């Protein structure tokens, strides 16, 4: 049989060689015949013959042959796995058979002991009966009474110590204490099938949450029961739209392996930064990736810095509210403190040198104020915006304006403006102001920032309150696009915020 198979393989090789030597192109029927012959002998012929056949076949047919070999590998793997299952069943059969045999020996020993006990009982009973018969034949009245008394005492003693006349044989306990039921295992075996890689999971962006340095990613999977683990991959989003190319940039990706749940919180992220996430579902057959999801961290929270507050401003205990107060306690002079006449200002306790950050200011009934950012070197004895180191949006009674380097520009805003949103996109050189209540854009500075900037606030009447650490609202992107001033905000934010010194 082996010789015939090898001979058949050699014949196939010769057939193909003839075609090649004659520079003849085999027609479709010939190609199909050669493939079928190779398939018939590939599993039994020598490996070198299969390799030789692959070399002789044209390139268009080599792929088909590789597919056949791949199928043969799967078939061999199937045989291997089934053989392992059979071997496991054989081993379990031996183990259970040994247990049954041991149980049988134990029960036979117990039965033999019970038979021995019964034999002893019968022997004692026979002796008592013999003694009783002798007593009945006794003619002497006194001896009869004495013998009968002895028999009665022996019977009483025997019944008092144990029920010796009742055999201790319990068939239910000794012989019916186990059962063989493999119905569950049979159902499992009937459900055997080849395993495929799980379907791609889906990131649920509406369930994902973020803080200034964390993002919690949630996802779902249709093949949850076949998934052995998940792997989360993420990197800073650079605005690259070719996700395949981005994914292949292995060096830039952070990987969290062996996740057993369908959610994970990533810590230590940069504030005001957009990230791109993939989730990989994994089992023994392989893995598949989810579609990419772009998620962003919130802005870094900050407070008003008491060391910078003008001596005629009063800050709340939480340093989130500032109020004009002529009777405020005298404060010591420091280089950081706003000190000029009318420069009733305070700065935030952070310096921003990268990222996209958003905060809001609640203005209450104030009609004189200025909001914006400034370099650390900006003068503290004059209004913000009067120099080249600060940029502000300001209200002076019924007029709204923006100011930088002592140049004012009138802007349109509602007199009912009570909540101003400030968006600092440091990496894209933009500082924008919004009517946060009405989701309307007011103005955007084009700024080529050269140094870190701090949020700055001035007020001439009433009070204001700062709300920081907020996510960038959706209306910011939408309104900027509508008005044609939208800038690229999805940039690689590489540091974050630095505390004031």
CATH of the domain at 485: 2.60.120.920
Q: Which residue has the higher pLDDT, 73 or 21?
A: 73
* Number of structural domains found in the chain: 4
Same domain, 40 and 129: no
Mutual angle of helices 2-21 and 47-56, in 10-degree steps: 20
Q: How far apart are CA 155 and CA 405, in angstroms?
A: 125
Q: What is the pLDDT of residue 77?
A: 81
In a domain, 74, yes or no: no
For residues 177-210, one letter each, b for 16 or more C-beta atoms within 10 angstroms of the residue's C-beta and e for the rest, the string is eeeeeeeeeeeeeeeeeeeebbebbebeeeebeb
In a domain, 67, yes or no: no
Same domain, 321 and 466: yes
**Is it the case that residue 209 has pLDDT exceeding 70?**
yes
Report the residue count for the chain. Answer: 501
Same domain, 34 and 151: no
- Indicate the DSSP class of residue 462: S
**Is it the case that residue 9 has pLDDT exceeding 70?**
no
Q: What is the pLDDT of residue 399?
A: 93
Same domain, 214 and 147: no
Residues 6+ apart with CB under 8 A from 326: 312
| 373 class by beta-carbon count within 10 Å (0-12 exposed, 13-18 middle, 19+ buried) | buried
With tokens 């490996």, the residue in question is: 47
Q: What is the pLDDT of residue 403?
A: 95
Would you place residue 61 in the very low, low, confident or very high pLDDT band (cuts 50, 70, 90)?
low
- Indicate the DSSP class of residue 495: S
**Is it the case that residue 241 has pLDDT exceeding 70?**
no
Question: By mean pLDDT, which of 177-181, 315-319, 383-387 is the weakest?
Answer: 177-181
Q: What is the pLDDT of residue 102?
A: 85
Where do the H-state alpha helices sit in 191-238? none
In a domain, 333, yes or no: yes
Question: By mean pLDDT, which of 28-42, 222-236, 413-427 is the weakest?
Answer: 28-42
Q: Which residue range is the domain that position 280 belongs to?
A: 202-296
Name the percent of the chain lying above pLDDT 90.
Answer: 39
Pairing between β-strand 202-203 and β-strand 286-289 as defined by DSSP bridges: unpaired
Q: What is the pLDDT of residue 467?
A: 94
Tokens encoding 446: 């084009």
Same domain, 120 and 221: no
Beta bridge partners of 390: 374
pLDDT tens digits, 142-192: 777 777 777 777 777 766 655 544 555 555 555 556 677 888 888 887 777
**Is it the case that residue 284 has pLDDT exceeding 80?**
yes
In a domain, 89, yes or no: no
Tokens encoding 173: 């306990």
Cα-based torsion angle of the residue sequence 403, 408, 409, 414 in order, rounded to the nearest 10 degrees: 70
Same domain, 217 and 182: no
Q: How far apart are CA 64 and CA 34, in angstroms?
A: 12
Same domain, 383 and 486: yes
Cα-based torsion angle of the residue sequence 58, 64, 67, 69 in order, rounded to the nearest 10 degrees: -50
Same domain, 238 and 340: no
Same domain, 32 and 143: no
With tokens 């002796």, the residue in question is: 127
In a domain, 51, yes or no: yes
Q: Which residue has the higher pLDDT, 481 or 247?
A: 247
Query: 177 to each of 102, 151, 167, how far by Cα in Å?
Result: 14, 42, 20
Q: Quick one: which of 458, 403, 414 has its CA closest to 436?
A: 414
Q: How far apart are CA 69 and CA 63, in angstroms?
A: 10
Same domain, 371 and 427: yes
Q: Which of 296, 331, 357 is at the close of a domain? A: 296
Q: Which of 296, 327, 359 is at the close of a domain? A: 296
- Indicate the DSSP class of residue 473: P
Where do the H-state alpha helices sit in 178-312? 183-190, 243-247
pLDDT tens digits, 104-156: 888 888 888 878 877 777 777 777 777 777 777 777 777 777 777 777 777 77
Name the average pLDDT for the chain: 78
**Is it the case that residue 488 has pLDDT exceeding 80?**
no
- Indicate the DSSP class of residue 453: E
Q: Which of 321-330, 331-340, 401-410 has the highest mean pLDDT?
A: 401-410
Q: How far apart are CA 304 and CA 183, in angstroms?
A: 72
Q: What is the pLDDT of residue 263?
A: 96
Q: Which of 127, 159, 190 is at the close of a domain? A: 190
pLDDT tens digits, 391-408: 999 999 899 999 999 999
> CA-based diameter of the chain, in Å?
150
In a domain, 457, yes or no: yes
Same domain, 338 and 223: no
In a domain, 162, yes or no: yes
Tokens encoding 52: 């030789």
Structural contact between residues 310 and 344, judged by C-beta atoms closer than 8 angstroms = yes
Q: How far apart are CA 391 and CA 447, in angstroms?
A: 9
pLDDT tens digits, 445-469: 999 999 999 999 999 988 999 999 8
Q: Which residue has the higher pLDDT, 171 or 486?
A: 171
In a domain, 23, yes or no: yes
Q: What is the pLDDT of residue 161?
A: 55
Same domain, 291 and 223: yes
């Amino acid at each position: 049989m082996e010789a015939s198979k090898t001979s058949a393989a050699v014949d196939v090789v010769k057939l193909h060689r003839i075609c090649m030597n004659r520079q003849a192109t085999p027609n479709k029927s010939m190609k199909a015949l050669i493939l079928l012959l190779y398939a018939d002998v590939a599993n039994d012929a020598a490996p070198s013959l299969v390799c030789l056949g692959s070399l002789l076949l044209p390139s268009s047919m080599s792929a088909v042959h590789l597919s056949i070999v791949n199928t043969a590998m799967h078939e061999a793997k199937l045989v291997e796995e089934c053989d392992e299952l059979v071997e496991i069943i054989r081993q379990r059969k031996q183990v259970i058979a040994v247990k049954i045999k041991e149980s049988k020996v134990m029960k036979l020993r117990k039965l033999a002991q019970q038979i021995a006990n019964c034999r002893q009982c019968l022997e004692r009973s026979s002796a008592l009966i013999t003694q009783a018969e002798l007593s009945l034949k006794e003619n002497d009245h006194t001896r009869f009474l004495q013998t009968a008394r002895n028999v009665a005492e022996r019977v009483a003693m025997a019944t008092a110590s144990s029920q010796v006349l009742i055999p201790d044989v319990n068939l239910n306990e000794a012989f019916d204490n186990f059962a063989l039921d493999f119905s569950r295992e049979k159902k499992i075996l009937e459900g055997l099938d080849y395993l495929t890689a799980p379907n791609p999971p889906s990131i649920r962006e509406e369930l994902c949450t973020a803080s200034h340095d964390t993002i919690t990613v949630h996802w779902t999977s249709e093949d949850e029961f076949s998934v052995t683990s998940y792997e989360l991959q993420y990197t800073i989003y650079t605005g690259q739209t070719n996700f395949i190319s981005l994914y292949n940039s292995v060096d830039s990706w952070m990987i969290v392996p062996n996740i057993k749940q369908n959610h994970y919180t990533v810590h230590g992220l940069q504030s005001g930064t957009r990230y791109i996430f993939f989730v990989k579902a994994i089992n023994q057959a392989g893995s598949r990736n989810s579609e990419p999801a772009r998620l962003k961290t919130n802005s870094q929270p900050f407070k008003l810095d008491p060391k910078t507050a003008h001596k005629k401003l009063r800050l709340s205990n939480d340093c989130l509210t500032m109020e004009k107060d002529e009777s405020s306690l005298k404060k010591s002079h420091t280089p950081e403190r706003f000190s000029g006449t009318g420069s009733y200002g305070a700065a935030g306790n952070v310096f921003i040198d990268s990222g996209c950050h958003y905060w809001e200011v609640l203005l209450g009934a104030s009609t004189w104020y200025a909001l914006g950012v400034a370099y650390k070197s900006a003068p503290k004895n004059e209004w913000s915006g009067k120099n080249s180191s600060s940029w502000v949006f300001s209200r002076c009674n019924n007029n709204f304006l923006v100011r930088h380097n002592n140049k004012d520009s009138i802007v349109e805003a509602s007199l009912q403006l009570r909540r101003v949103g400030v968006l600092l996109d440091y990496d894209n050189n933009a500082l924008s102001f919004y009517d946060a209540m009405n989701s309307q854009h007011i103005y955007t500075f084009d700024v080529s920032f050269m140094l870190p900037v701090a949020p700055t606030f001035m007020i001439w009447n009433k009070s204001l309150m700062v709300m920081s650490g907020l996510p960038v609202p959706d209306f910011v992107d939408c309104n900027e696009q509508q008005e044609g001033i939208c800038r690229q905000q999805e940039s690689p934010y590489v540091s974050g915020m630095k505390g004031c010194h």
